[in-house]
Amino acid sequence: MTVLDQDGVRLTVDDSASVATVTLANPAQRNAQTFALWRALAEAGRRLPGSVRVVLLRAEGKSFSAGLHRQAFEPDGLDGEPSIGDLLARGEQGLDAALAEFQEAFTWWRRTDLVSIAAVQGHAIGAGFQLALSCDLRVCAADVRFAMRETGLGLVPDLTGTHPLVSLVGYGRALEICLTGRYVSGEEAERIGLANLVVPEAELDAAALDLAAAVLAAPRDAVIETKALLRGAPERLYDEQRAAERAAQARRLRDLAGLGE
């Protein structure tokens, strides 16, 4: 069932209503991102049925996403959208609000009640890299090439990608990747923890579906509790994490015994 199809984003839900697929659907432009596409991605998150447990993110064509559309950097900006000059003219609060709105396309993938899986092939540059980083898990084709090019343009990665990048590969490697803008291959991505799995391109969609099926095999509430425990672990002290584990397990035991709160 197709739930949304606009501005280069298509959202479908499978017959079980447990798996949703978000597809970047502008292969002729290598799925370059626009402000309209970001609004569509945010809308896809809002339209997810409550029954969905796994969201697959994939892209049509040879490239996952070439990053922000180059026209956004032109003086006139993207057609029908504010230019960078227009955004700056809004003042500090207005600019911050606009950037926060852009980030909404990248935040909902981390919801505790979902597991998000990105299937990434070809180039994932800048905003494309950050979109892949928004997901919980990444299955990559062997030809994948990640790169963070913002710093070389005089900018910073601002689409929520810095936190997961540091969490996955560590500060030193994250800094080096961002400052040099170099490509990270599929082999390196798997070795340093960016990719959970690297497969031949022809097997990418099947591998992502297999991973989704493995996630669905576990009870939903146990998945939700486990994801929350692991996501919160870096911010907790050891004894705080122990307490969080006990509290989560107590909830699961009460639920399994039919003694839910």
The structural domains of the chain, with segments of one domain joined by +, span 2-216, 220-256
208-to-56, 62, 140 alpha-carbon distances in Å: 7, 17, 9
185-to-72, 88, 120, 198, 216 alpha-carbon distances in Å: 27, 36, 12, 10, 29
Is the pLDDT reported for residue 260 higher than 70? no
Look up residue 171 and give its two tokens.
């500060």
What pLDDT score was predicted for residue 259? 79
Q: Summarize pLDDT for 123-149 with one digit per residue, the tens.
A: 999 999 999 999 999 999 999 999 999
Q: Give SS3 for 138.
A: strand
What pLDDT score was predicted for residue 261? 59
Mean predicted confidence (pLDDT) in 88-99: 96
Distance CA 20, CA 174 (A): 30
* Backbone torsion region of residue 61, taken as left when φ is above 0, otherwise alpha when ψ lies between -120 and 50, otherwise beta: left
pTM here is: 0.96
Distance CA 153, CA 159 (A): 15
CATH class of the 2-216 domain in this structure: alpha beta
Of 19, 10, 24, 22, the closest CA to residue 122 belongs to 24
Q: φ and ψ at 253, to 5 degrees?
A: -65, -40
Of 167, 112, 160, 151, the closest CA to residue 132 belongs to 160
Q: With both helix axes pointing from N to C terminus, report the angle between 91-107 and 127-134 in degrees, rounded to the nearest 10.
A: 60
